[in-house]
């Protein structure tokens, strides 16, 4: 599928389901110089990626925004993530400005285990942040780091969702997998985590966590696409839990850093054959409810 076909496919998809649009909880917008470094890393197929990963939507920011809107995406995030200390507060300044000039973007913020984390996270919440991003693999930190205790407490109290990459895909990190984050959930059981990529490749373990913690959600980012299935196939035996947890699964794409068309991310859900109601919930209503989108 190319651009125009994609737009047609997504338009038909929305019309058939009677959806006002798609809500994508997993998109990346970040300062230009950072995004260029991310793209260079993907191009190099570095160890965190592990294989060739051609970026499908490499374009200027305004072009990327128009592309998403043309696809019928009505609300999206600007997921930023620091890979070192002294970076998160600066990223949060950028995302606040981006959200202010991009009304369809949910104001996003991030953090890193560092002494200042509590104060800049509190400031971001005060400033209207509606979603956070944490990247345990790229950040290479333990989510149970004592420096994050006040951050988890604050976000649990404020009930602000955190999209967290803590599964061991595409390549495992020192602190990925369910065990480190399960320790955090034991102490902060109401934490509204959104497990990115359904926890790829530890699908079953993260579904277990979702069953244990009612505020836990999962995003579909890249799961069931040809690219993901070739590397980390989702177990057929776990399809029934997709139905039982239907109200806690949210559509995500990883736009623009995806090795396939945007339409393929949606088609990957459609071909699961879980029914129109499931698609409506996952592609729109669950996120609309969570973020209070009309």
Question: DSSP state, 238?
Answer: G
**Helix axis angle, 178-187 to 149-158, nearest 10°:** 60
How many chain residues are in contact with Zn ion, going by CB under 5 A? 1
| Least gap, CB of 38 to Zn ion (angstroms) | 10
Residue with tokens 């890193």: 112
Q: Going residue by residue from 76 to 115, which x/- string records binding to Zn ion, judged by CB under 5 A?
A: ----------------------------------------
Cα 176–chain centre separation: 16
Residue 202 binds to Zn ion (criterion: CB under 5 A): no
Contact track, Zn ion, 139-178, x by CB under 5 A = ----------------------------------------
Considering the rule CB under 5 A, would residue 254 count as an interface residue with Zn ion? yes
Minimum CB distance to Zn ion, residue 44 (Å): 17
d(CA 105, CA 134): 18
Query: Of the two residues 19 and 202, which places its CB atom closer to Zn ion in the complex?
Result: 202
Q: At its nearest, how many Å lie between Zn ion and the CB of residue 175?
A: 17
Q: Which helix (H) or strand (E) holds 41?
A: helix 32-44
As a whole number of angstroms, the distance between CA 54 and CA 42 comes to 7
Give the torsion sign (CA, 111, 180, 84, 49). negative
Piece of the chain touching Zn ion by CB under 5 A; list 93-101, 166-174, 198-206, 254-262: 254-262
Q: Rounded to the nearest 5°, which phi and psi values hold at 47?
A: -60, -25
The CB-of-229 to Zn ion minimum distance in angstroms stands at 18
CB of 169 to Zn ion, least distance (A): 11
Sole window of 210-218, 223-231, 236-244, 250-258 interacting with Zn ion (rule: CB under 5 A): 250-258
Tokens of 175: 């602190």
**Separation of alpha carbons 138 and 119, rounded Å:** 22
Identify which of residues 92 and 108 has a Cβ nearer to Zn ion in the complex: 108
Site residues for Zn ion per CB under 5 A? 254
């Amino acid at each position: 599928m190319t651009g125009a076909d994609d737009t047609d496919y997504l338009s038909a998809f929305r019309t058939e389901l009677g959806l006002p649009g798609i809500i994508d909880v997993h998109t990346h917008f970040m300062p230009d110089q950072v995004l260029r470094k991310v793209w260079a890393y993907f191009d190099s197929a570095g160890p965190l990626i592990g294989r060739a990963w051609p970026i499908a939507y490499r374009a200027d920011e305004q072009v990327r925004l128009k592309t998403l809107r043309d696809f019928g995406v009505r609300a999206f995030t600007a997921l930023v993530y620091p890979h070192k200390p002294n970076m998160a507060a600066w990223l949060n300044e950028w995302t606040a400005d981006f959200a202010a000039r991009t009304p369809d973007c949910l104001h996003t913020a991030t953090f890193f285990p560092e002494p200042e984390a509590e104060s800049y996270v509190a400031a971001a919440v005060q400033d209207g942040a509606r979603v956070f991003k944490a990247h345990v693999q790229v950040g290479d930190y333990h989510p149970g780091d004592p420096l994050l205790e006040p951050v988890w407490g604050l976000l649990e109290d404020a009930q602000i969702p955190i999209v967290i990459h803590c599964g061991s895909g595409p390549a495992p990190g020192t602190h990925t997998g369910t065990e480190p984050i399960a320790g955090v959930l034991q102490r902060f059981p109401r934490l509204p985590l959104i497990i990115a990529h359904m926890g790829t490749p530890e699908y079953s373990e993260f579904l277990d966590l979702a069953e244990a913690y009612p505020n836990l959600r999962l995003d579909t980012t890249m799961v069931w696409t040809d690219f993901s299935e070739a590397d980390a196939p989702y177990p057929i035996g776990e399809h029934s839990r997709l139905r039982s947890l239907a109200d806690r699964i949210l559509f995500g794409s990883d736009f623009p850093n995806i090795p396939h068309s945007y339409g393929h991310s949606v088609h990957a859900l459609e071909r699961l054959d879980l029914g129109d109601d499931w698609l409506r919930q996952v592609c729109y209503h669950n996120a609309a409810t969570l973020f209070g989108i009309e």
